[in-house]
Structure formats: C-alpha cells, structure tokens
Structure 1
C-alpha cells in the first residue's frame, strides 16, 4: 500500500511552462491513493487551465482569495488545515521569494503561509534566475525553515538551450514525497553507510580483475533502509543498477577507493553495512598501455598483492554505539568461516551465504543467507528474492539498534 494512501495533498501550481507536468503529477498522486486539491496562481493559469486539474483531481481548483465558495469557512485556512502534505510544483522564483520573506498576496502564498504540514518545493526556472544571489538566499532561508526541496534537473530549457532549472520529473517528485511521508522507525535520523557492487583492479587500460557481483544485494539493502527512514549514503562500485531514490551515492571503482570512501564517511555514520564484493588481491603493477599478445609470450605471469582489509580498518575506527555489518561469500565451511570473521572483524552482524549453491549469491535475483550475531542462534532464510532478504536483514539489524538505544 502506498504511504500516500488516503493522505491529503495540496498541490500548488505557479507560473512556469513546466506547469503541464503538474497535470501528470496530479494523476500520479491520485493513483497513489492521495486526495488532491490544487491551488493555481494567476500566472499558472496562463499556461494550464484550472479545468484540467479539476478533472484529474476530482476537486474544484482554488484560484482566488475571494472565491467565496464556502461561506462557512475561510478558504485558505480550511485548505491549510486539511493538508497533510503541500507540494509546490512548479515553484517559480516568485513563490519561493514570497515563502522565504513572509509575503502572502495571492491564494497560493496565503494558504502556504497558513500551512503547518510538511512542504515540498520543486523549483523550475531559467538557470540564470536559479543562480541569482537573491534566489539562492531565499532557497537557503527556506531550507533553514525546514522546507524540503526536489532539486531541479539539467536539460533543454524553454529558452532553447541546455541548462539547470528544469522541473524535476513527476515520478521523481512523487518519490520524494513518498520518502517524506515515511512513518518514523528506529532508523529515522540514523546515518547508514552501505557499500555495494564489485570492485575492479586494473591490469592494463582494457583489462581488470573483478568478481560476479551485480550490486543487487547492497542496493536492495539501501532501498529497504531508506524506506524505513534512514539517511543512507551508498558507496557503489560499478553496477548496471539505477541508484535507489533517496540515497547519497559515492561512486568508486577500486578497493583502495572504496577503503578511502569508507574511512571518510564511517566516522559520521551510525551503521556500516559492507555488502560490496571487494577484490582481495590486485595486480602488483598496472601498466599504462595494453599488454599485447605476441609470438614470444605464450604465457604471462601476473603478480598479485593483497588489497586493504576494509572491515579490519573499520574495526579500528569504530566508536561506542556504532554498528557494523559484514558479508561473507563462502563455498565451504560456511558457519565456521563466517563465525571467525564475525569475531576477528568486531562485527555486530555477519551475513553469510554459500555462493556455490544454485540461486544463491552473485549476479542473481535471489539469495539465501545465514545471519550471525553475538549471543544469538544463527538465522537462516529460505531461498527468496534479494528484496525479501534485505527486509529480513534490516529486521535483524533493527533488533541491535533497539538494544543499543535501550
């Protein structure tokens, strides 16, 4: 069920050519189960008609302070009190300036000024306007006031050239609103660092050592943690996956880059989830030109050296209250090897899987894991989707978060 189901969403449409996108956003909100009421500024009506929004929302559209359609109520106060979430999309420089400076001179600004519900603003304007110091000051002031933003995109603008300032796509705005509407959990406000994907170690410009990791398990964990309210930073080695909505992505390629990113971000995190498949060895030397096959070299010897043990490094940085989760991909002696790693790396949770089994581990959509922790019997899942496994892991981790706070 959508987190917006049966929620009251007030959509404010202001003067921008991007106003047409708000029609589709209205449709998406209704499909998500929200009750939608639309407010339009006079400038917005120059681009899209109120009737279009009325048909899609199944509610009358407010356009004037003096509509007088509800004699028993003050229209803007009634709507403000009705609102669970307010969305301003597109948000012009004008409405942003009014909100930041307490100006209420039309139905949109007047109602927003009376709204105590969370407000999500999706700016849309020319790049030069967006970068004006006055607009940037207003955006900073609203951020300090607790207003939430959907960053504008970069692309082809109405003026006929590429630049920043395009209204975020309706699907992106909906996703951000769904994140905003998440119920509070033990993860709310927690900073979680998740690593994912398989690192690559260069041999030459066209060859590298890597593994079969697709990144799906780490991405599923990041998605689940975001859904439960965590502030997730995703350190991602190369994958073919789209970044989960709501995560802060730090791209890396090599094990050393991953180690550096973890070392940088872990001190600020509450939880580290090391789901990345890290190369244990790298070439001792990496050449700058492609190694050519010739008639004289029927064989080639490749010297390898160990890479940084990231979990071991994290253990030395770990402070009281932090939790660390590791993964162990094994092909034999699963529990014995995993238990040893749990202890030697000072982990709070160890997720072990036997990647020699069909449907388990690298590059697939399913997984079966055994979850180990101190003073608790191992928990073994069935062979299920990686999304389901992520939910089980996050449930087990939640128990540890609770115990740390208890």
Structure 2
C-alpha cells in the first residue's frame, strides 16, 4: 500500500533539541535519545469514515514528533498501518450495501488526500492489515505453540498471563480493563476463555465474512492488536522509540500489542515511550463515528477553508489535552494565519534568530505547540507595530514555521 507524497521540509540553521515527551507507561516525561534513525509506529485508521478532526489532531501530534527529530539531523523511520478489514468496516459496508474492499479503498484514498493537504509527513511504510496477513499467521502460530495462546471453538486467543509485564502500559485495574474491553472491541463475557481480558489473535472464518488462509490456524482473519505488532516488528523491531495513537488506544490496543510483542520476543519493552493524543469533542461529546458528531477535514476543504488554518487550529491545543472543536476555534486559526502571512510578506522585519530557538524549545518540551504559536504571535505583533531591519527575518520565520510545525505561509 502506498502512502502520500511528502512535502519538502526546509532546512534551518543550527540544530534542534532532543525531545522530552510524556510516556503513558511511566506516567511522566522521558527524554528520547534515538540513534541516527529514530523509529516511530503510529496506529492508523479503520477506513470506513475518514478523516475527522480527531484523526487530524492525532496525526498532527506525531507529525510534530517527526519534525522535531528531523531538526536534530536524524532520519526518521515512521510506520503506520491501515486496519482495512475489521468489524466496523464490514458493518458500515453492509449498512450502505457497498463492497467492503471498495469502501476501504475509497476512505483510504480520502485520508491520503487530507494528509497531503495538511502537510503531514508520510510514513516510510504504510501497511494494510490484509497485506500483512502472511506475516501475522506465523506469529499467531508461534504464540499458540509456545503456550502463550490457545484455541477456543476455532478461534485463537492470547493469554494475557503469558506476559509478566501485562498492565504496564495502562496501569488499570482488572475491573476497568474489563469495562474498556467490552466497549472497545473485546469479548470479556465469552464463555470458555481463560481470562475475560484475553484478546483474539485469529478469528475463524464466519459465514458471509472475508477470510484468508491461516495455515495451521485454518481460514479466518487476524485480530486487531496482532496486526500492528506484526507490522511494527517487521519494519522497526523491538525497543523502537515511540508507539503513538489517540488516548482511546491505551487500553486495550497498546496494552495488548505490547504484551503480544513481549511474549513473542522475550524482550521488554516493545517501545521506549507510549505517547497518546487527547480526544476532540463536538457539542460537548467526544467526536466519534458511533455518535456521528464528526467534522471532516475534507468537508472543511470543500468549504474553502485553507488547510494551513485547519493545521493552526490543531496546533492551538496541546496534543495531550482533550478539547472541543467550535466555529470560534476555526475563526481564530484563520485570523492567526492571516496575521502571520501579512507579517512574513514584508521585505524585512525584527530579528528571528531568538524566535527559531523559542519554537524549538517549545516543541522539544512535550510538543508544546501552543507555546510555539505564542512565540510566532509575538514576532508578528512586533512586525506589525514597528517592523524591523533584518532583511532575512521574514524568510527565516516562514521556513521555521513550515519545517517545525508544517504550516506553509
């Protein structure tokens, strides 16, 4: 599966700072010091309705991670999946009486268009669940053959007790895990499971549903968590730098994925930092497909909203914060974009050397995009009030905002 084209990242003078970021697993900040190549895996969409502002906020956060690393003169090995076969996709296709493959392709194409418009840097590897099945099957067989998984009426389940570190990502108690499992695709009440929390690795073929050859597992399709594990292990290996996604993935998805990988390899941890973006609300409720309260990036673009303004609206909120999308949020972003573009359109201005370092410091400090925006606002206000004599300053500001925050002025 192909990703989307990369926008050019301008080179800046000097060198950026190492990223200090909040790690869900430890509950506090960690300073990441990758080698020459930083490794990041971000969980992708299930393509039955893309791309809403909640999606965009999540991918914006991890785009900033990439940009901070690139500014330190590292390469970035970024991997993202597409869950292009799963119950929600099949249910939507059945509801609308459309082919599920066509629906997945259509929504994935729209996601690519939105990511391109928003200048999100693409992954090096963009892998669909379906194309990953040949690599998933042997992992499930290994887990089963080692005793870390078991069969139940043709399905294969992972035993959470096989990983001594299980629970180390979310730190939730069993009751909370059980509730979230039921809400987020698990089946804790199924009879015959060794532990109610055990997640499915391989679902035996169901009548009328797509299925694939699973070798000794029989025909079926993979569970949700093992999909990401197979892709991450193949392309990044264990101990990669950041596992990313929305905060709704902490449990069960990232907890279970970590345990799958750790049971398979005997190594710990799967990722050096588990980083999670907050949820975006609309009209007082979390923006979600099940509620239908979605604001789509493509709809905003069709209405003539500049993608740079959408990006500024996202950047105005700290990535870990839960926040609400409103018309005022967008109006503020449009106004900011106009001020900034006016400021950099002049032939000279106040010195920008300090500003670049302020942006770098803000983003290296747990991706504090609002502080970075405030720094640019101050420079733009000085430009408007009294201008300056530095002929190169507007160009430096324009390149810094593009390179570090993905906003084209």
TM-score (norm 1): 0.28
Between Structure 1 and Structure 2, the one with more helix by share is 2
Larger radius of gyration: 1
Choose between structure 1 and 2: higher strand proportion.
Answer: 1
Larger RCO (CA under 8 A, 6+ residues apart)? 2
TM-score (normalised: structure 2):
0.28
